Amino acid sequence: MVWQMRSSFSAQLQKVWGKPPFSILKKWEDSQFAAGAPRFTRVVGGQTFVPLYGNDVGVGVSLDITLLTGLPIRKPVISAGDLDNRIKRIIDALRVPQGHGEMQPNLQADGRYYSLIENDDAVLSLTAQLGPYLGSNDPAVSFAVIRVRPIAMRVNTGNLEMLF
């Protein structure tokens, strides 16, 4: 489940790669991280991960997650523990895997994945809410609406554009 979401998020994040405000990240990578540019990419299990936010670039995020989910008949709300687990899986899918144990087997060699965040530490603020997805009564059917706001961890001329 996490890898399905990770792949979906990666395809969406690839569309913003190299465009403002992330053009500075592409510039740093294209320069081979010359002149003190932060080395923000990560290689895990032979795969390259490109987080857009994190400690290396000095910008964290505030996440506002709305999870739209099918509600079973006669069960008006999903338990808080279930919501916590779903939000944790979403954050896991938004971040770079932390080791080989989190890697999907049989990935294409030398793949490239775009991640929103480097790790959980880049999430500086989080709100989550649940809403009904009226197209289904199946709680396994869900959509996540994620609003991302950058938060400065360190401000410098390189990451300034990413803060607005």
The predicted-structure confidence for 86-142, as pLDDT tens digits, reads as follows: 889 999 999 999 876 777 777 777 789 999 999 999 999 999 988 888 888 777 778
Tokens representing 17 are 């790669």
CB atoms closer than 10 angstroms to residue 65: 20
* pTM of the complete model: 0.87
- Domain regions of the chain by residue span: 2-153
What is the distance between the alpha carbons of residues 96 and 111, in angstroms, rounded to a whole number? 13
* pLDDT tens, residue by residue, 4-26: 899 999 999 999 999 999 999 99
| Res. 79: pLDDT tops 60 | no
What is the distance between the alpha carbons of residues 29 and 39, in angstroms, rounded to a whole number? 8
Span of 27-31, 49-53, 94-98, 105-109 with lowest mean pLDDT: 105-109
Q: Where are the beta strands (DSSP E) in the chain?
A: 42-44, 47-53, 59-69, 112-117, 123-132, 142-152
| Res. 64: pLDDT tops 60 | yes
| Res. 80: pLDDT tops 90 | no
